[in-house]
Amino acid sequence: MAHDGKPVAAGRKFDSVGTRPLRPDGIDKVTGRARYGADMNMPGQLIGKVLRSPHAHALIKSIDTSAAEKLPGVRAVITARDLPDLTGGDQGQMDTLVNTMARERTLYDGHAVAAVAASSASIAQAALKLIEVVYEVLPHVTDVDEAMKPDAPLVNGGVITNGVTPKPTKKSNVLIRHEFGHGNIAKGFADADIVVERSFKTEATHQGYIEPHACVANLGADGTGDMWVCTQGHYNVRAVCAAMLGLEQSKLRITASEIGGGFGGKTMLFIEPLAFALSRKANRPVKMVMSREEVFRATGPTASSSMWMKVGAKKDGRVTAAHAVIKFQGGPFGGSLVDMGAMACFACYDLPNVKTEGYDVFCNRPRAAAYRAPSAPIVTFATESVMQEIADKLGLDPVDMRLKNAAKEGTKSSYGPTYGPIGLKATLEAVKETPHWKTPVAPGKHRGRGVACGFWFNFGGNTSVSMAINADGTVALAYGNPDIGGSRASMSLMAAEELGIPYEKVRCIVADTASLGYNDTTDGSRVTFAAGLSTINAARNAIKVMCARAAKTWGISEDAVTWEKGHAKPAGANAGKFEPLSMAQIAATAQNTGGPIAGHFETFADSAGVSFGTHIADVEVDEETGKVTVLRYTVLQDAGKAIHPSYVEGQYQGGAAQGIGWALNEEYIYGKDGRLQNAGFLDYRIPVASDLPMIETVILEIPNPGHPYGVRGVGETPIVPPLGAIANAIAAATGVRMGDIPMSPPKLLKALEGRAR
């Protein structure tokens, strides 16, 4: 049922939805007028800079800021002393406080230790050099397997592991163990004709947004403040800063700038509380912009992992049992999202017997943040590799084998819930219809094709939307989610559709925290779904009001008025002979019929639909250098209903490109000293234009009953299949099965040489 209780009409014809108009922020972005996080300046502002620990793990014996404070031009210096513990014992808040600025210990290379606000960037940098910190270096560990060994150095003092019986007596680096599944895997494996068992290891990656974190903060002594910030969630910025600094939320007004990429990495806060703290101390606005090196060292990459997986199947390809043990490290506080990994791992398949175990492990690395379908690319790499290996050993077509095991409506998922209508089978069947699949791999040595499936849960959440009908009948739509991928255009399309007016009559903005009720962060592929259904419902409320005004104008009852294509009309001949009234006409007399006209809608949106995808990758492997070239790539994914098809395609292509980079080249490289070796775009190599072919896309539409137009979030799923698809293509091309991500040239060469022997 859709949010209003009416089922989504199958095959509904839309007027605006599904078209490809230009986005409202487009001209600003192609002319350089658009203002991002670092493009704002406030009068009298100071520049803030952060001093960061050069050690992987250390005690802070002392910090002397006196010389820095005396430097002419320096107006404030802060350390943990300026951030008192207001967490009230909440561990999550304490982790955030410590991550924002180290207290007794520094926990990773790049951990913030102190911060300075000065009249220029060069003076602030000079002041950092004058801060004297005395460290006592502690043993460190940066590898997840090393961290689980019994003699591993304890990160941040270690912890007694939760979720294990009997309860351990000794502290370790394992925060918690999770378990999901159903059935009887021992019996399942006993029933299998073939069993494949593999180990995998993946290194951490970074979201790699091109815009570094940036904000300008202004906080007065009375606790009233505002901030301009590039963020995926300005309401969350308000909440976290208020809690950390002991401020009232209503006194903080956060404005979201245009954002130059987020992908989950800008859902967490790093410099924002520091900017407010510096501003409060200096009584001046403070602007803080991270350098690229700081972004790599001290924001939130993904977890790195170590995994083991065992899958059993019958000769005909039907899987009888699946078991996975997944270990993630996500920095020094836990929260590596291994539980999401354990849930996502086998989510594509209909399995009678399944068990996934997840371990959340501490390491001396930056605290992990979400990255586009967090955890799913990692675990899906393992699953799709093993599924393919089974298909290969049984001589089965890769698509048919997956179809045989694919989850469908009514399947009990591996993480518990039973699926409603879903699109996995549709994407697999559609593979066979693509020009890509129908064209054999281009002839040549060491070329191969791989296929992989992927999934993401998608979320709904807190949403507040407001819609005003202007006196000229145009629409001012305000929602509260920073626009990363074109959502202003999508909201405008849905408003135009519901109201029955042209898209150009709707103007959509992202409002600040003072202007709307709470909005959850732009993440979880939730905006087109949740803000979309809220926009539609706000429009319905506005329509109700406009019909009531028309009824008043005509002197008839409200139930006798209906709405069609932007006009209020008498519902039938009995209602009376009245000319339809346009929105402009109704709005023009609004002050006489009851006042300004607006619709609004607030909700906690549930019933987001999951989104499944299947990818096809053709690769060529250079056996002399280990370099992999992607020859052809196709993304098939269920969007429920594509509101703006160009932006849906954009998500498919962008997510695939990130997944390809993750598969082939991106990784965090730590030295023996526990320091990050490649904190820049030269050596943290993301895909460039010459690395990729055109990325073909197929949008399927199996409507989500939980949204009035059938929308499913699409933003995250595209990054999930590429690691498996590329690994399977490499296996097809060379016979080598890679278990190590990234499958970079040195590693591939080694594996190829090993095969030759």
Residues listed for the chain: 757
- CA of 341: how far to CAs of 180, 581, 636, 713, in Å? 11, 54, 22, 19
| 292 touches another protein (CB under 8 A) | yes
* 291, 474, 582, 678: residue in contact with another protein (rule CB under 8 A): 291
* Binding to another protein in span 426-455, by CB under 8 A: none
Which of these, 262, 266, 214, 219, lies nearest to 241 by C-alpha position?
A: 219
Which of these, 384, 243, 245, 241, lies nearest to 730 by C-alpha position?
A: 384
Instruction: Give 491 or 581: the residue with its C-beta nearer to another protein.
Output: 491
User: By the 8 A CB rule, do 355 and 410 touch?
Assistant: no
| Structure tokens belonging to residue 75 | 């107006």
- CA of 718: how far to CAs of 453, 529, 697, 699, 709, in Å? 10, 17, 10, 12, 21
User: By the 8 A CB rule, do 368 and 330 touch?
Assistant: yes
* 85, 136, 433, 606: residue in contact with another protein (rule CB under 8 A): 606
| 666 touches another protein (CB under 8 A) | no
Judged by CB under 8 A, which stretch of 9-17, 332-340, 398-406, 591-599 contacts another protein? 332-340
Per residue, the 3-state secondary structure of 481-541, as one string, reads CCCCCCHHHHHHHHHHHHHCCCHHHEEEEECCCCCCCCCCCCCCCCHHHHHHHHHHHHHHH
**Closest separation in Å from C-beta 25 to another protein:** 7
| 317 touches another protein (CB under 8 A) | no
Instruction: Give 341 or 739: the residue with its C-beta nearer to another protein.
Output: 341
**Closest separation in Å from C-beta 518 to another protein:** 12
Scanning the structure block, which residue is given the tokens 């620990």?
53
Scanning the structure block, which residue is given the tokens 């490809």?
20
**Partners of 310 in the β-ladder:** 197, 323
* Binding to another protein in span 685-704, by CB under 8 A: 686-692, 694-695
**Closest separation in Å from C-beta 708 to another protein:** 17
* 12, 33, 171, 445: residue in contact with another protein (rule CB under 8 A): 33
| Structure tokens belonging to residue 542 | 């506005």
Number of residues that bind another protein (CB under 8 A): 99
**Closest separation in Å from C-beta 60 to another protein:** 28
**Closest separation in Å from C-beta 749 to another protein:** 23
Instruction: Give 259 or 311: the residue with its C-beta nearer to another protein.
Output: 259
Instruction: Give 574 or 690: the residue with its C-beta nearer to another protein.
Output: 690
* Binding to another protein in span 101-120, by CB under 8 A: none
**Closest separation in Å from C-beta 139 to another protein:** 30
Instruction: Give 398 or 659: the residue with its C-beta nearer to another protein.
Output: 659
- CA of 559: how far to CAs of 197, 552, 594, 609, in Å? 66, 12, 18, 34
| 71 touches another protein (CB under 8 A) | no
CA dist 369 and 298 (Å) reads 11
Judged by CB under 8 A, which stretch of 125-133, 285-293, 321-329, 468-476 contacts another protein? 285-293
- CA of 743: how far to CAs of 202, 633, 751, in Å? 10, 17, 10
CA dist 333 and 265 (Å) reads 17
| 172 touches another protein (CB under 8 A) | no
Judged by CB under 8 A, which stretch of 56-64, 71-79, 97-105, 418-426 contacts another protein? 418-426
Site map for another protein, 450-469, x if CB under 8 A?
------xxxxxxx-------
**Closest separation in Å from C-beta 440 to another protein:** 22
β pairing state of 581-582 and 567-570: antiparallel
Scanning the structure block, which residue is given the tokens 């397997």?
145
Site map for another protein, 714-753, x if CB under 8 A?
--x-------------------------------------
CA dist 4 and 153 (Å) reads 56
**Closest separation in Å from C-beta 63 to another protein:** 27
Scanning the structure block, which residue is given the tokens 């490499």?
730
**Closest separation in Å from C-beta 151 to another protein:** 25
**Closest separation in Å from C-beta 513 to another protein:** 20
* Binding to another protein in span 211-230, by CB under 8 A: 211-212
Judged by CB under 8 A, which stretch of 19-27, 303-311, 317-325, 749-757 contacts another protein? 19-27
Judged by CB under 8 A, which stretch of 63-71, 81-89, 339-347, 538-546 contacts another protein? 339-347
| 708 touches another protein (CB under 8 A) | no
Q: Where are the beta strands (DSSP E) in 543-627?
A: 561-564, 567-570, 581-582, 597-605, 611-621
User: By the 8 A CB rule, do 405 and 318 touch?
Assistant: yes
Which residues have CB under 8 Å from 405's CB, separation 6+?
Answer: 317, 318, 319, 349, 350, 351, 387
Residue 338 parent element (H or E): helix 338-344
**Closest separation in Å from C-beta 691 to another protein:** 8
- CA of 397: how far to CAs of 389, 401, 406, in Å? 11, 6, 14
* 285, 486, 626, 674: residue in contact with another protein (rule CB under 8 A): 486
* 5, 11, 32, 395: residue in contact with another protein (rule CB under 8 A): 32
- 3-class SS of residue 651: helix
**Closest separation in Å from C-beta 707 to another protein:** 14
Q: What are phi and psi of 417, to 5 degrees?
A: -60, 155
CA dist 179 and 356 (Å) reads 6
* Binding to another protein in span 127-156, by CB under 8 A: none
- 3-class SS of residue 559: helix
Instruction: Give 48 or 486: the residue with its C-beta nearer to another protein.
Output: 486
**Closest separation in Å from C-beta 680 to another protein:** 6
**Closest separation in Å from C-beta 164 to another protein:** 7
* Binding to another protein in span 341-370, by CB under 8 A: 343, 369-370
* Binding to another protein in span 506-565, by CB under 8 A: 523-526
In 581-635, alpha helices (H): 583-588, 590-593
**Closest separation in Å from C-beta 524 to another protein:** 3
Angle, alpha carbons 385-330-301 (nearest 5°): 80
Which of these, 393, 389, 387, lies nearest to 406 by C-alpha position?
A: 387
| 419 touches another protein (CB under 8 A) | yes
* 2, 484, 636, 639: residue in contact with another protein (rule CB under 8 A): 484
Judged by CB under 8 A, which stretch of 54-62, 204-212, 311-319, 567-575 contacts another protein? 204-212
CA dist 331 and 108 (Å) reads 8
| Structure tokens belonging to residue 502 | 């042209």
**Closest separation in Å from C-beta 525 to another protein:** 6
* Binding to another protein in span 236-265, by CB under 8 A: 258-265
CA dist 578 and 559 (Å) reads 15
CA dist 687 and 661 (Å) reads 5
* 160, 190, 210, 669: residue in contact with another protein (rule CB under 8 A): 210
* Binding to another protein in span 641-660, by CB under 8 A: 646-647, 649-650, 653-654, 656-658
Instruction: Give 198 or 292: the residue with its C-beta nearer to another protein.
Output: 292
| 36 touches another protein (CB under 8 A) | yes
* 12, 29, 187, 315: residue in contact with another protein (rule CB under 8 A): 29
First-to-last C-alpha distance (Å) of the chain: 60
**Closest separation in Å from C-beta 521 to another protein:** 9
Peptide bond into 72 cis (omega under 30): no
**Partners of 456 in the β-ladder:** 611
Instruction: Give 457 or 709: the residue with its C-beta nearer to another protein.
Output: 457
| 26 touches another protein (CB under 8 A) | yes
* 79, 99, 207, 611: residue in contact with another protein (rule CB under 8 A): 207
